[in-house]
Amino acid sequence: MPESPLAGRSRTRLHTILALGLAFILVSACNASDKSGALPVYPPGVTNDAITIGSSLALEGHAGYLGSQILHGALSFISHVNDQGGINGRRIKLISYDDGYDPPRCMVNTQKLIVEDNVFALFNYVGTPTTVKIIPIVTEARIPLVGMFTGASALRQPLNRYLINIRASYYQEIQAAVRYMVNQLNLRKVAVFYQYDAYGFDGLKGTELALKENNLTPVATGAYTRGTLRVEEALTRIMASGAQAVVMIGTYGPCAEFIHLARKRGYAGIFHNVSFVGPDELARRLNREEKGVIVTQVVPPPEPSSGGGKLWGVEEYLKLLKQYYPDDSPNFVSLEGYINARVLVEGLKRVGRDISREGFIDGLESIQNYDLGIANPLSFSPVDHQGLEKVYFTIIRNGKFVLTDETGITGLY
């Protein structure tokens, strides 16, 4: 039976559509190949010449000093690397959002960085209450989070493949301080002043554990609300207990206020602050009220080397900070940011040109006894995601925190 003209035209039209569709696919593929240079498909946040990293941290408000300084320290080294041509032909782009040290804002920022900005990794988050809230997001997205400015145990235990801690923990800082107070100064009455959130609770638990080693418990505890300076109630409770020393888990504003009021009321005991307090800003606010104030640090003092044991990493930090942020004064917080960036870059170097998130983590886990120029080698492994272990004791001298050993603290009390 002969084919009808209508059927023939339909089949011809179908063939034409199929041919045009095939031609469109081929042209699109050729264009894509031309634009990409026939390179393989890259993971999120990576292009032929850039790697995009994301950060949520406090840039304004009551913890703004901490976020701005750790960011400047990191960007000093990242800018230096970019000016040298980047890593394996790619420059690092850092997108940072202000979260005001507020957990809900940090969660929103993190989701935006992952979903909208499509970053390769997260970096330099500041604070316990903000960072612990995003652990489920990080785990679900399988995105690396590197160099958090917090020593919280929740970021260390249980081990999470996607969380890469660089600094020593709060437990290590507090344990070192409490051991000294109890074993060297023979103090038995230790109180805890803490921020009423995940950060403070972690420090409170760390102090309880450290005291338990010596069959002791806190003689008193007192808390304040994050973002406020309302410390009077806590101070009254702690002074009434007869505490000989106070472990302080807070930020520079409330801790300085507590020390001011305590000294004004005649308290003569020791104050110990963990590194997150922001020691340089704390010293500025104390205004020469120096006696009896200790801060444990997780990085050495940001001062030029003198005598033996030159710390070339600190010297490089000082040089780069002056080059890229000439208006900033060197400080412990931005030095930690610089160190975090050094570790980030080393991990990116080790993964090579064929980059992936999982390969990046593998690269970090391969770092062993890496010299950062701070006389404190860094190591990771598949079962250990905290790179540094050392705790430094510092005391205030002439308005600045300076390094000392435990024997140098004896005259404080």
pLDDT (tens digit per residue) in 330-369: 999 999 999 999 999 999 999 999 999 999 999 999 999 9
Rounded mean pLDDT of the chain?
89
Please check the confidence at residue 38 and state whether its pLDDT lies above 70: no
Mean pLDDT of 396-400: 82
pLDDT (tens digit per residue) in 244-284: 999 999 999 999 999 999 999 999 999 999 999 999 999 99
Q: Is 206 in the same domain as 128?
A: no
Q: Is 211 in the same domain as 227?
A: yes
pLDDT number for residue 289:
66
160 occurs within a structural domain: yes
**What is the helix (H) or strand (E) element at residue 190, kind and residue range?**
strand 190-195
In the chain, the percentage of residues whose pLDDT exceeds 90 is: 81
58 occurs within a structural domain: yes
250 occurs within a structural domain: yes
Q: How confident is the model at residue 33 (pLDDT cuts 50, 70, 90)?
A: very low
196 occurs within a structural domain: yes
304 occurs within a structural domain: no
Task: Report the alpha-carbon distance of residue 406 to residue 413 in Å, rounded.
Answer: 13
In the chain, the percentage of residues whose pLDDT exceeds 70 is: 86
Q: Is 190 in the same domain as 206?
A: yes
pLDDT number for residue 403:
84
Please check the confidence at residue 118 and state whether its pLDDT lies above 50: yes
Tell me which residue has tokens 């205030």. 396
Q: Is 222 in the same domain as 82?
A: no
pLDDT number for residue 67:
97
- Rounded to 5°, the CA angle 362-109-228 comes to 115
Q: Could you give phi then psi for residue 286, rounded to 5 degrees?
A: -70, -25
Q: How confident is the model at residue 19 (pLDDT cuts 50, 70, 90)?
A: very low
Task: Report the alpha-carbon distance of residue 281 to residue 286 in Å, rounded.
Answer: 9
Task: Determine which of 26-35, 234-243, 295-304, 368-377 has the lowest per-residue pLDDT on average.
Answer: 26-35
317 occurs within a structural domain: yes
Please check the confidence at residue 22 and state whether its pLDDT lies above 90: no
Q: Is 238 in the same domain as 373?
A: no
Tokens of 93: 């782009």
Tell me which residue has tokens 């003569």. 268
Q: Could you give phi then psi for residue 80, rounded to 5 degrees?
A: -60, -45
336 occurs within a structural domain: yes
pLDDT (tens digit per residue) in 174-232: 999 999 999 989 999 999 999 999 999 999 999 999 999 999 999 999 999 999 999 99
Mean pLDDT of 113-132: 98
Please check the confidence at residue 305 and state whether its pLDDT lies above 50: yes
Task: Report the alpha-carbon distance of residue 375 to residue 394 in Å, rounded.
Answer: 16
Total number of domains in the chain: 2
pLDDT number for residue 397:
82
pLDDT number for residue 290:
67
Q: Is 192 in the same domain as 230?
A: yes
59 occurs within a structural domain: yes
pLDDT number for residue 107:
98
Q: How confident is the model at residue 405 (pLDDT cuts 50, 70, 90)?
A: low
Domain at 329, CATH number? 3.40.50.2300
pLDDT number for residue 400:
82
pLDDT number for residue 398:
80
Q: Is 285 in the same domain as 408?
A: yes
Q: Is 74 in the same domain as 164?
A: yes
Tokens of 127: 């604070």
Q: Is 76 in the same domain as 135?
A: yes
Please give the residue range of the domain that contains residue 212.
Answer: 170-297+393-412
Residue 110 to residues 86, 228, 269, 279, Cα–Cα distance (Å): 25, 25, 42, 28
Q: Which of 337, 330, 368 is nearest to 350 (CA)?
A: 368
Q: Is 265 in the same domain as 403?
A: yes
Q: Is 161 in the same domain as 177?
A: no
pLDDT number for residue 40:
67
Q: How confident is the model at residue 399 (pLDDT cuts 50, 70, 90)?
A: confident
Q: Which residue has the higher pLDDT, 412 or 270?
A: 270
Q: Is 218 in the same domain as 155?
A: no
Please check the confidence at residue 39 and state whether its pLDDT lies above 80: no
Q: How confident is the model at residue 406 (pLDDT cuts 50, 70, 90)?
A: low
Mean pLDDT of 151-162: 97
Q: How confident is the model at residue 14 (pLDDT cuts 50, 70, 90)?
A: very low
pLDDT number for residue 24:
38
